[in-house]
């Protein structure tokens, strides 16, 4: 994967850099990018080595090349990093997690004496009433302030009931949402789903498989006819990958151009660089023509027909005469560069039938012929030695590979369907077990809220009595008359917050949770049974695949026989 990303990134970076470099060249027109800075940074201007390779005319070209390399490197780095970025998909059950987070343990708000004091100022009212000897010593009912304290208690009880109802009902709704769908209903839908999905897929795949099989059989028929017509009893022999031979061609061109650069450098205004460019052009022409001769013309010597062999003889002879003449003229051009560079082409044509002058020219011609022989040999080995045999054999192998890939695709689809079904079944069992854990946690939260009811009721009554006694103590401390008789005993405060009011909600929760938990053994049992069913369906699907492949082969063979073309 990394290699593929790097190749794609390199191609994109190449196009990006080729688009950006002209902009840099346009800027260079206004000397925004100056080549003299680049040159002074990398070498001294009077360096003999660089002076031999580059002339002042090509200083700007160097800056453009360096700018292109920089843009290409930066583009490659950025694009490759973009390919490496991947996002991970989180497949967690968000609903269940949200439920757990939402219904954490809650605590019923407490009833505090400070709340009463802030609302009615019971102690201050007690002092005020005491100074006025209120309530009178003959009074038999509670004072106004005491009634207000009890009223505050009743208001709190109402708020507490609403809070408890809301909390328990929210938990009940969450439990109902989880238990809404029975866990064992899942197996009714999943039982035949893999088999139905496979047969739905195989209907379309059957036609494609037949098309690939027919193409492969026809390609084999053509290959056998070619072997019969050309009296071939062996398998085709050729390299599986053409990269080696293509790389060898490029290497031959570079080596020849590098070697011949010395011969063309003399008399060239561009020095060694100019010689290398001229040698490169000569090398490309030489290697290309020689490779084509070895790839196509020389192979005709192996053909069964005499006419092809005659063509190979005359074609090869003519091509080698042309190549020899080309090298001879190039060598004369090399001699002419030493005497009259401006008229070198004319002198080379004029002196074509004359001997060469310098040893360098003979070496240049010899080097060219050696490269011609090597390139011709590489072209001959590029494919099977019998003309056309490798091409038709590759065509058959390509069709055969397509058929085999389709066969593997069908089998892989069967495995994918089976794995998906098994994954869904396993996830369902795991999800059921996780839901039971969540239900237990929600039910425990409900129990904890339910358990706070009596304590909250008792604490609210104690707080109310404390406030009443605080009022009476303040009243008693400033009175000049005797206190009323009822000051000597606590008032009776009825309990309005009782568990019985919420037992029905708790019972509904317990019923839902217990019913859901009771289905877990059945879910586990059905999971085991459904895996057995899947195993049987797998065997049936495998048999169906073999049956389809066999029928496709028979049908295609019948069609070919009707065409009188039996492979």
Q: What does the pLDDT look like over 409-420, one tens digit per residue?
A: 888 888 888 888
Could you count the other beta carbons within 10 Å of the beta carbon of residue 478?
14
Residue 356 has pLDDT above 70, yes or no: yes
Find all residues with CB under 8 Å of 372, minimum gap 6, and list them.
Answer: 286, 290, 320, 323, 327
Closest by CA position to 516, among listed 91, 158, 182, 39:
182
The predicted structure's pLDDT at residue 39: 41
Percent of the chain with pLDDT over 90: 4
Q: How confident is the model at residue 51 (pLDDT cuts 50, 70, 90)?
A: very low
Mean pLDDT, the chain, as a whole number? 78
User: Could you tell me if 146 and 126 are in contact, meaning their C-beta atoms sit under 8 angstroms apart?
Assistant: no
Q: Which two tokens stand for residue 19?
A: 């688009």
Min mean pLDDT across 51-65, 241-255, 477-491, 531-545 is at 51-65
Tell me the C-alpha distance between 417 and 542, whole Å: 12
The predicted structure's pLDDT at residue 360: 80
Q: How confident is the model at residue 32 (pLDDT cuts 50, 70, 90)?
A: very low
Q: For 185-214, what is the mean pLDDT?
A: 80
By the 10 Å C-beta count (0-12 exposed, 13-18 middle, 19+ buried), 115 is classed as: middle
Q: For 11-37, what is the mean pLDDT?
A: 56
Residue 94 has pLDDT above 60, yes or no: no
Q: Which two tokens stand for residue 396?
A: 């058959």
Tell me the C-alpha distance between 187 and 531, whole Å: 11
Tell me the C-alpha distance between 392 and 386, whole Å: 11
The predicted structure's pLDDT at residue 317: 92
The predicted structure's pLDDT at residue 507: 92
Its pTM stands at 0.54
Min mean pLDDT across 33-42, 142-151, 185-194, 268-277 is at 33-42
The predicted structure's pLDDT at residue 563: 64
Find all residues with CB under 8 Å of 258, minimum gap 6, and list them.
Answer: 276, 279
User: Could you tell me if 116 and 469 are in contact, meaning their C-beta atoms sit under 8 angstroms apart?
Assistant: no
Instruction: Give me the helix-helix angle, 389-478 and 94-102, nearest 10°.
Output: 10
Dihedral angle, C-alpha 277, 278, 281, 284, nearest 10 °: -90
Q: For 41-65, what is the mean pLDDT?
A: 45
Q: Which two tokens stand for residue 282?
A: 């000569």
Q: Which long-range contacts (CB under 8 A, 24 or more apart) does 145-151 make?
A: 145/120, 145/471, 146/468, 146/471, 146/491, 148/120, 148/122, 149/116, 149/120, 149/122, 149/464, 149/467, 149/468, 149/471, 150/464, 150/468, 150/491, 150/493
The predicted structure's pLDDT at residue 318: 92
The predicted structure's pLDDT at residue 269: 60
What is the number of helices (H) and of strands (E) in the chain? 18, 0
Tell me the C-alpha distance between 21 and 63, whole Å: 11
């Amino acid at each position: 994967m990394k290699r593929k990303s790097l190749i794609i990134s390199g191609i994109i970076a190449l196009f990006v850099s080729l688009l950006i470099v002209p902009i840099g060249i346009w800027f260079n027109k206004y000397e925004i990018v100056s080549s003299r800075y680049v040159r002074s940074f990398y070498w001294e201007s009077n360096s003999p080595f660089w002076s031999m390779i580059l002339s002042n005319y090509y200083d700007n070209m160097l800056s453009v090349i360096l700018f292109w390399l920089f843009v290409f490197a930066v583009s490659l780095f950025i694009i490759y990093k973009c390919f490496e970025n991947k996002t991970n998909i989180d497949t967690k059950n968000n609903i269940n997690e949200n439920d757990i987070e939402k219904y954490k343990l809650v605590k019923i708000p407490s009833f505090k004496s400070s709340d009463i004091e802030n609302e009615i100022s019971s102690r201050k009212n007690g002092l005020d009433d005491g100074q006025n000897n209120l309530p009178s010593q003959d009074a038999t009912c509670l004072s106004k302030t005491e009634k207000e304290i009890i009223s505050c208690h009743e208001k709190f009880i109402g708020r507490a009931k609403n809070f408890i109802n809301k909390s328990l009902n929210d938990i009940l709704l969450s439990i109902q949402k989880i238990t809404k769908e029975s866990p064992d209903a899942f197996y009714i839908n999943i039982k035949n789903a893999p088999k139905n999905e496979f047969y739905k897929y195989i209907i379309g795949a059957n036609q494609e498989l037949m098309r690939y099989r027919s193409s492969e059989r026809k390609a084999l028929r053509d290959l056998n006819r070619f072997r019969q017509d050309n009296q071939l009893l062996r398998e085709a022999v050729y390299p599986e990958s053409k990269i080696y031979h293509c790389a060898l061609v490029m290497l031959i061109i570079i080596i020849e151009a590098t070697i011949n650069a010395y011969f063309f450098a003399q008399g060239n205004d561009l020095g060694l660089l100019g010689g290398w460019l001229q040698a490169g052009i000569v090398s490309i022409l030489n290697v290309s023509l020689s490779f084509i001769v070895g790839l196509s013309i020389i192979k005709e010597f192996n053909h069964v027909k005499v006419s092809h062999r005659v063509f190979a003889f005359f074609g090869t002879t003519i091509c080698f005469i042309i190549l020899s003449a080309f090298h001879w003229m190039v060598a004369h051009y090399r001699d002419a560069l030493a005497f009259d560079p401006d008229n070198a082409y004319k002198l080379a044509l004029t002196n074509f039938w004359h001997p060469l002058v310098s040893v360098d020219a003979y070496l240049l011609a010899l080097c060219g012929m050696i490269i011609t022989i090597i390139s011709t040999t590489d072209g001959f080995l590029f494919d099977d030695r019998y003309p056309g045999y490798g091409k038709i054999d590759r065509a058959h192998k390509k069709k055969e590979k397509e058929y085999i890939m389709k066969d593997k695709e069908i089998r892989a689809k069967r495995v994918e369907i089976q794995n998906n079904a098994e994954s869904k079944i396993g996830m369902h069992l795991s999800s059921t077990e996780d839901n039971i854990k969540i239900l237990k946690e929600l039910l425990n939260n409900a129990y904890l809220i339910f358990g706070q009811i009596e304590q909250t009721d008792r604490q609210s009554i104690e707080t109310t009595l404390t406030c009443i006694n605080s009022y009476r103590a303040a009243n008693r401390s400033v009175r000049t008359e005797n206190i009323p008789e009822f000051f000597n005993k606590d008032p009776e405060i009825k309990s309005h917050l009782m568990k019985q009011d919420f037992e029905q909600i708790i019972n509904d929760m317990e019923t839902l949770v217990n019913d859901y938990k009771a289905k877990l053994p059945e879910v586990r049992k059905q999971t085991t049974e459904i895996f057995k069913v899947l195993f049987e369906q797998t065997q049936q699907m495998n048999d169906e695949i073999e049956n389809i492949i066999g029928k496709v082969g028979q049908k295609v063979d019948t069609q070919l026989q009707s065409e009188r073309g039996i492979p």
